[in-house]
């Protein structure tokens, strides 16, 4: 994504032309960026040789999943719907792990039928449920147990998952009991210890702490885990100030861990694969004068991109056409939805904007479209992929008539 003669382009295509042709709002993905992200992760962890299972919940568009499959990634799924879609994209069941605290009977049954790599369990009840279904099907089932390492990921509290007050995983004491329980099972094959401490993690230190807890627990359990699944969470540079996770430092910590614990590492990255691969192209409907600032009312809203309303997350907003003139008043960028949380950000000294101007909300590839809803009965946006400097339609814009 670069400006050429003050016009925003992706892969040589003028985004302004795309906006005019297809109408807004549009999720516009760049295949080049997705592939660069995959390559970057693979190269940093090359000597570790991990199994990389893309977290489908970050973006479950079928076209995107197919591209990810072509790059030989597996999948981490959290519902039967995601599992079906990963399989439909051609991802091998041998590279699929199933996570989540509340897998239903039907979901477990489906996963067992499809012989996926691992079901990562999160409670005693769930292990008993899986055992019951496995017995009924007379099938050996590979499971993992998710440890809650009580590690602060130092990220937004709403996307923290590895502290003891969070619902995810089981505490060390329970973990050790469950290992003993699973060991005795004739039909369950305990293969994995899994952890996932949160999302948008910007420092390697929480991972370092998490790894030391995992090491300790493995020792205490006196059990040989074939896999250690470290989850996802690798943070990306939303502020465009180079504040992303240092993968090199993280990989050094993992190498130290592997010296003491021989196992195969699994990663479940979501955001770091697709997060910076998409912009949400939007048009200004109105500009409305407020007391101290002007409201820039966009045709994209919280139903299209919920992260700001849900977590207070910030996304850069950039113009498709750059000009020099600066606005005297601050701008607050908002959507048309009838909620006060339908606001993206307030920016001082932005370039002077006019009604009908186009803007791009940046880094919306992860937890953007996958969290979109029809709130206020608004149709979900068009999704396109820029691939070899051509536009591929990934998903048509919903029609209002489909919603009525």
Ligand X SMILES: *Cc1c(COP(=O)(O)O)cnc(C)c1O
234 forms bridges with which residues in the sheet?
201
231 binds ligand X (CB under 6 A): yes
309 binds ligand X (CB under 6 A): no
As measured in angstroms, the least distance from the Cβ of 142 to ligand X is 17
313 binds ligand X (CB under 6 A): no
- In three-state secondary structure terms, 381 is coil
**Catalytic residue list contains 192:** no
Q: Among 13, 67, 19, 20, which Cα is nearest to 39's?
A: 67
| Contacting range for ligand X; rule: CB under 6 A; set: 11-19, 110-118, 238-246, 263-271 | 263-271
Q: Which listed residue (233, 308, 319, 365) binds ligand X by CB under 6 A?
A: 233
As measured in angstroms, the least distance from the Cβ of 115 to ligand X is 20
Closest CB to ligand X among 270 and 379? 270
For residue 212, what are the CA distances in angstroms to 164, 207, 252? 16, 9, 13
268 binds ligand X (CB under 6 A): yes
Binding letters toward ligand X, positions 86-125, x by CB under 6 A: -------------x--------------------------
Distance (Å, whole) CA 354 – CA 361: 17
As measured in angstroms, the least distance from the Cβ of 209 to ligand X is 17
Closest CB to ligand X among 196 and 387? 196
For residue 217, what are the CA distances in angstroms to 194, 221, 378? 12, 6, 48
379 binds ligand X (CB under 6 A): no
196 binds ligand X (CB under 6 A): yes
Which residue's CB atom is positioned nearest to ligand X? 232
57 binds ligand X (CB under 6 A): yes
149 binds ligand X (CB under 6 A): no
Closest CB to ligand X among 156 and 318? 156
Closest CB to ligand X among 158 and 180? 158
Q: Among 360, 372, 358, 348, which Cα is nearest to 294's?
A: 348
As measured in angstroms, the least distance from the Cβ of 122 to ligand X is 9
Q: How many residues bind ligand X (CB under 6 A)?
A: 17
- For every residue of 165-201, DSSP letters joined together read TSSSSB-HHHHHHHHHHHHH-SSEEEEEEE---BSSB
Backbone conformation region of residue 11, classed left if phi is above 0, alpha if psi is from -120 to 50, else beta: left
199 binds ligand X (CB under 6 A): yes
Tokens read off for 66: 């197919």
Please identify which of the residues 28, 263, 338, 362 carries the catalytic annotation.
338
Phi then psi for residue 187, to 5 deg, are: -115, -15
As measured in angstroms, the least distance from the Cβ of 230 to ligand X is 9
As measured in angstroms, the least distance from the Cβ of 283 to ligand X is 29
As measured in angstroms, the least distance from the Cβ of 199 to ligand X is 3
For residue 121, what are the CA distances in angstroms to 52, 185, 231, 306, 329? 19, 15, 13, 29, 53
Closest CB to ligand X among 8 and 210? 210
- In three-state secondary structure terms, 204 is helix
In the region spanning residues 270 to 299, those forming contacts with ligand X, defined by CB under 6 A, are: 270-272
The answer to whether 304 and 381 have CB atoms below 8 angstroms apart is yes
Q: Which listed residue (16, 63, 76, 83) binds ligand X by CB under 6 A?
A: 76
Closest CB to ligand X among 175 and 350? 175
Distance (Å, whole) CA 386 – CA 30: 5
Q: Which listed residue (55, 218, 230, 382) binds ligand X by CB under 6 A?
A: 55
What is the CA 355 to chain-centroid distance, rounded?
Answer: 33
As measured in angstroms, the least distance from the Cβ of 195 to ligand X is 9
Laid out side by side, the sheet with 2-4 consists of 2-4, 7-10, 13-14
Closest CB to ligand X among 75 and 296? 75
Cα angle for residues 150, 170, 129 (degrees, 5° grid): 165
Distance (Å, whole) CA 300 – CA 289: 19
307 binds ligand X (CB under 6 A): no
For residue 158, what are the CA distances in angstroms to 282, 311, 313? 27, 6, 10
Neighbours of 387 (CB within 10 A): 18
- Residues of this chain that bind ligand X (CB under 6 A): 55, 57-58, 76, 99, 196, 199, 231-234, 268-272, 366
Catalogue the active-site residues: 338
């Amino acid at each position: 994504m670069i400006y050429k003669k003050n016009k925003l382009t992706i892969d040589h295509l003028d985004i302004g032309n795309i906006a005019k042709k297809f109408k807004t709002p549009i999720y516009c993905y760049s295949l080049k960026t997705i592939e660069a992200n995959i390559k970057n992760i693979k190269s940093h962890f090359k000597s570790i040789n991990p199994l990389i299972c893309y977290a489908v919940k970050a973006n479950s568009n079928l076209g995107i999943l197919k591209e990810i499959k072509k790059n030989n990634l597996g999948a981490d799924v959290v519902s039967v719907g995601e599992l079906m879609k990963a399989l439909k994209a051609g991802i091998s069941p041998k590279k699929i792990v199933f996570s989540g605290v509340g897998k239903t009977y039907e979901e477990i049954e489906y996963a067992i039928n499809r012989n996926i790599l691992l079901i990562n369990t999160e409670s005693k009840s769930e292990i008993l449920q899986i055992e019951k279904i496995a017995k009924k099907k007379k099938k050996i089932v590979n499971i993992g147990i998710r440890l809650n390492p009580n590690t602060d990921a130092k990220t937004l509290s709403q996307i923290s998952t590895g502290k003891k007050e969070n619902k995810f995983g089981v505490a060390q004491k329970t973990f050790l009991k469950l290992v003993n329980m699973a060991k005795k099972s004739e039909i369950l094959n305990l293969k994995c210890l899994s952890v996932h401490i949160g999302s948008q993690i910007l420092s390697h230190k929480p991972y370092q702490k998490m790894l030391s807890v995992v090491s300790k627990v493995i020792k205490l359990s006196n059990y040989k885990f074939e896999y250690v699944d470290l989850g996802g969470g690798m943070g990306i540079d939303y502020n465009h100030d180079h504040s992303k996770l240092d993968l090199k430092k993280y990989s050094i910590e993992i190498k130290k861990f592997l010296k003491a614990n021989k196992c195969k590492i699994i990663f479940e990255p979501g955001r770091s694969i697709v997060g910076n691969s998409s912009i949400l192209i939007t048009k200004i409907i109105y500009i409305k004068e407020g007391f101290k600032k002007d409201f820039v009312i966009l045709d994209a809203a919280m139903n299209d991109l919920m992260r700001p309303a849900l977590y207070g997350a910030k996304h850069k907003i950039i113009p498709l056409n750059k000009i020099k003139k600066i606005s005297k008043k601050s701008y607050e960028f908002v959507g048309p939805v009838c909620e006060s949380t339908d606001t993206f950000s307030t920016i001082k000294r932005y370039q002077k904007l006019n009604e009908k101007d186009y803007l791009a909300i940046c880094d919306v590839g992860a937890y953007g479209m996958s969290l979109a809803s029809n709130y206020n009965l608004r149709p979900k946006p068009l999704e396109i992929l820029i691939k070899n400097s051509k536009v591929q339609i990934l998903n048509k814009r919903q029609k209002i008539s489909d919603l009525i």
